[in-house]
Structure 1
Amino acid sequence: MKRFLKYISLSVVLILIWTAVIFLGIDKGWWHTPFTEQKESTKFIKSVQKELKKEFVGSMAMVIFKNGAPVIESFHSKNTSVDRNTVFQVASLSKFVSAIGVMRLVQEGKLELDVPVSNYLKRWQLPPSSFDNNKVTVRRLLSHTAGLTDGLGYSGFEKLKDVQSLESSLTKAKDADLGKNGSTQVGILPGREWRYSGGGFTLLQLIVEEVSGQSFDQYMRTEIFAPLRMQSSFYQWDEKFRNKLCNFYNADGSKAPHFYYTSLAATSLYTTLNDLEKLFTLFDEEQSTLKPLLPKYQRMMWQVEASKLGAPIYGLGTFLFAEVDKGQFVIGHDGQSNPPINTAFRYNPTNRDGIIVLTTGSSDFATRIASDWVFINTGKVDTLLFAMQQSNMTQLVIIGSILIILLIITYIRFKNLVANIITQN
């Protein structure tokens, strides 16, 4: 019995060591092969164009920044041409931009980060819960640590007339992604953990409207987009941009419909590559004119507010993709929805380099390209690249664990065989 327990213990220890090695290896990128090794911008873009031939991407617009300035753009389309003024929906990249609008109200003293959000709400309140709803704050909504368990995920509406009211959507979103109950409510202790919540940003949308006295779309146009001269950016669908809107595709290459959303702040930003290039200058302290957000407040967005598996993951409306210097991270956000929209925004504050990729028709092309850009330029596996490799990590852990168990069993049988031979002789 003691011998049996010894082998069980040995197996557990070896499996734990193997798991740690796999985790560390994926975190450090030991086994990751990026789609290209080309760092130079023009060569990187050429590699992207080659990669496009291997899979379906319906529409794409991208730009690479060096030292705070755009150095090269690239475009791709299946049918209707795409250029820097083509309008894309950007899915959850919307949160990154929406958070700037929220922080503008903080800068103006109209919002406080650490008071109960109920102080600002009149039209709707969080439903009663087993926890203290007064611990739900703007800071925690921005950082996905407010204890909301909606898991949204919005699928949108094919017809504009079917779009819910904001209050109705918060109570029960009719366009919740499959498997989500669609209710914005407190389900775990606020502040305990990072849990991604589309409903939290829809609640922030309501707070902005309550505090500003404007619709969310109008507030963002007036306070953020106008100062930055982002003339083709908006949250509420504007029919005058119909002829500039990109084509939407399913993953099989067939045309997909254009969806409309109640959840503007979480997922409904329309913008262009040209406009996002102007937004990029917001983060460059050397370009200080027309800024709607002071450097102090933009830097607050980049501070660690939430961690996952012990690693920093999120600030205020901002993914912390990879640490490039002590306390400094490649920052930005990605967006993903169905039918496939995938967008990516990366900014390295230490050298002001970055990349923006907007796509339709692929669920992960933009994220993979942007994450590999981070990897080849910093040597770091960013947050979303690590997440994409988790399935591989699980497979390697399982395969390794099975091999360890088989080796232990083989060793035991071999040892017993040798013992029997010696006994017989």
Structure 2
Amino acid sequence: MKRKNLAIFWCKFLFLIFTISLSFSGNLKANDFGQEFAIYLEEKVPLVLKRYDIPGATIALIENGEIKAIHAYGYANIEQEIPMVTDHIFRAESITKMFTAWGIMNLVESGKIDLDNPAEDYLTGWSFSDTEFNDREITIRKLLSHSSGLPFGIYNTYTPGDEGMPSLKESLSGEAGAPAAKPVQEPGTSFIYSNPGFGVLELVIEEVSGDNYADFMEREILDPLGMNNSAFYRTQDLSSGMVTNYDQNKEHVQPYIEPVKGHGELHTTAEDLAIFVAAWMENLQSEKPGRGIILPGSIHQLHSPEIKTAGMYKYFSDSYGLGHFVEKLPGGQQVVFHAGEGAAGVNIVCGIPEMGVGIIILTNSKTSWQFLASVLENWIDYLGVEWKGISHIFSMAKIVGWVALTLFFGASLCLFWSLTRGFLRGHRIFKPLSGPAQISRFIRAGLAIFIMGVWWGTSVKEILFWLLPNLSFWLQISLLIFSLLLLFSAMFAKESKNVNVKV
């Protein structure tokens, strides 16, 4: 009996030791992750910046619901050789939508707004323009989830202090570049990413709170979170700490503001955004999601899928919640994120609340998407989770780009060889409107003109540059060469030389 009890004791003891060792090894693994990824950042990020010709970036990491590290790379200003530092200020662009959603939930919790009430119930002095659709179906929830039926739109930019900048209401009525905020399809039917929709939410916040949007957001959201280097106004202090932004030609983009703030006007730092993302999750001090500013239940609502994404957005994420892109992972966790892109600069914030981890990547270049995808892909790999995320579309684009480049250069070589041989043998004669095979030559000429027209007359060039900053130049060269050779082959008819010998 004693031996039996002793055996049971040792079994329990060994089981306890085994359990403790597992817990200890788990902590080691978490620490190893942070150390390993920090090494990756220090070694690889400067190389990736150089590969994609990006001036600079700041990256913040979150573990266990707390800021783990903040890194700065490259230059905030190339010409003046000002190195990037962790407290440099960036335009958050569309990441702002997450904050607007928090502002709305603040008013929901105070009983001033109901997510499922029509937005027009909270508006005075402005209403949706005449439309064939029922604007009573445009609810706060649908505006937050981009399912209101309102259109996509990009607002004009203005120099800070420009007295000619339209008001918020004028902008929502279509006087600032973007279409008027009126539905273009039945509200609630499908996803349309809408900046005007978040402009309407900005107006709702102002009407309900009786305060300016920027002041309300700073008082109710930014200040309580401790985001002390963030604002919706471009103040003198903010301007002095701003990075210099660069476009696709590496030209300076002058400082600008937009008349609508609720969709993309937050100015902030990597550290402040890390504070925000960390507030989505519980930390080691057992502080709850929302950090007392909004309730954990509100965080859950913001992060719950509301509608399937559509268009190009479906390649980034399956669903959109309330102001947040969300996607379920195979392991059951949920990725919550939002990107932001403006006239110059591309950024992303991303978190997996169940794992207590997050990452913030801010850049000062229009050509940064491939860089973001590369860093994000490596972060996901280090975490050991499965998520294609934004890296999927850029990986596919790279493959398609190389295939297209190979095909166009190959076709160009064949055409060049055929034309050169024809000229040398005297078989090619300039007959643009006559000669043999006129139909096929007209088709070739039309195809060449069509290719050049699409490339230089539409936004295809900009889209390819956005997807493939390194390859777009060579794709342009290959398309130009191929089109010109195709046009030459159409203009110079191929004739066979028959020699008649008289006897």
The alignment status of 1:188 with 2:194, answered yes or no, reads: no
> What SS does structure 2 have at the residue aligned with 1:124?
coil
The alignment status of 1:138 with 2:164, answered yes or no, reads: no
TM-score normalised according to structure 2 size: 0.65
Give the aligned partner of residue 287 of structure 1: 287
Cα distance per residue 1:304-356 (max 9 Å; x no partner): 10113697321000011452543x41102110112x21011010112111110
The alignment status of 1:344 with 2:348, answered yes or no, reads: yes
The answer (yes or no) to whether the contact 1:346–1:370 under 8 Å persists in 2 is no
The alignment status of 1:61 with 2:63, answered yes or no, reads: no
Give the aligned partner of residue 307 of structure 2: 306
Q: How many residues align?
A: 355
Structure 1 residues 389 and 218: CA distance shift in structure 2, 3 A: same
> What SS does structure 2 have at the residue aligned with 1:332?
strand
The answer (yes or no) to whether the contact 1:86–1:272 under 8 Å persists in 2 is yes
The alignment status of 1:41 with 2:37, answered yes or no, reads: yes
Give the aligned partner of residue 297 of structure 1: 298
Give the aligned partner of residue 100 of structure 2: 98
Structure 1 residues 147 and 368: CA distance shift in structure 2, 3 A: same
Give the aligned partner of residue 206 of structure 1: 203
Give the aligned partner of residue 325 of structure 2: 319
> What SS does structure 2 have at the residue aligned with 1:224?
helix
The answer (yes or no) to whether the contact 1:344–1:356 under 8 Å persists in 2 is yes
Tell me the distance in 2 between the aligned counterparts of 1:321 and 1:334.
Answer: 14
Structure 1 residues 301 and 397: CA distance shift in structure 2, 3 A: farther
Cα distance per residue 1:183-213 (max 9 Å; x no partner): 2110111111011000000110000000011
Give the aligned partner of residue 47 of structure 2: 50
The alignment status of 1:172 with 2:177, answered yes or no, reads: no
Give the aligned partner of residue 337 of structure 2: 332
The answer (yes or no) to whether the contact 1:301–1:316 under 8 Å persists in 2 is yes
Task: State the one-letter code of the partner of 1:42.
Answer: A
Tell me the distance in 2 between the aligned counterparts of 1:211 and 1:381.
Answer: 39
Root-mean-square deviation (CA, aligned residues, Å) is 2.7
Cα distance per residue 1:136-186 (max 9 Å; x no partner): 01111010000112x12334213531321000100114244xxxxx22110
Tell me the distance in 1 between the aligned counterparts of 2:56 and 2:177.
Answer: 25
| CA radius of gyration, larger in | 2
Give the aligned partner of residue 73 of structure 1: 70
The answer (yes or no) to whether the contact 1:344–1:370 under 8 Å persists in 2 is no
| 1:367 Cα deviation from its structure 2 partner | 3.4
Tell me the distance in 1 between the aligned counterparts of 2:396 and 2:150.
Answer: 24
Structure 1 residues 126 and 388: CA distance shift in structure 2, 3 A: farther
The answer (yes or no) to whether the contact 2:70–2:270 under 8 Å persists in 1 is no
| 1:55 Cα deviation from its structure 2 partner | 2.2
> What SS does structure 2 have at the residue aligned with 1:211?
helix
The answer (yes or no) to whether the contact 2:89–2:268 under 8 Å persists in 1 is yes
The answer (yes or no) to whether the contact 2:58–2:70 under 8 Å persists in 1 is yes
Structure 1 residues 82 and 394: CA distance shift in structure 2, 3 A: closer
Cα distance per residue 1:96-135 (max 9 Å; x no partner): 1221111111121111100100100002111121111111
> What SS does structure 2 have at the residue aligned with 1:202?
helix
The answer (yes or no) to whether the contact 1:84–1:273 under 8 Å persists in 2 is yes
Structure 1 residues 142 and 39: CA distance shift in structure 2, 3 A: farther
> What SS does structure 1 have at the residue aligned with 2:124?
coil
Task: State the one-letter code of the partner of 2:230.
Answer: S
Cα distance per residue 1:396-419 (max 9 Å; x no partner): 999xxxxxxxxxxxxxxxxxxxxx
The answer (yes or no) to whether the contact 2:349–2:360 under 8 Å persists in 1 is yes
Q: With a CA cutoff of 8 Å and minimum separation of 6, indicate the structure with the bigger relative contact order.
A: 1
Structure 1: gaps spanning 5 or more residues: 1-36, 177-181, 399-425
> What SS does structure 2 have at the residue aligned with 1:279?
helix
| 1:83 Cα deviation from its structure 2 partner | 2.0
Tell me the distance in 1 between the aligned counterparts of 2:330 and 2:296.
Answer: 19
| 1:252 Cα deviation from its structure 2 partner | 2.4
Structure 1 residues 366 and 347: CA distance shift in structure 2, 3 A: farther
> What SS does structure 2 have at the residue aligned with 1:361?
coil
TM-score normalised according to structure 1 size: 0.77
Structure ranking higher in helix proportion = 2
The answer (yes or no) to whether the contact 1:281–1:287 under 8 Å persists in 2 is no
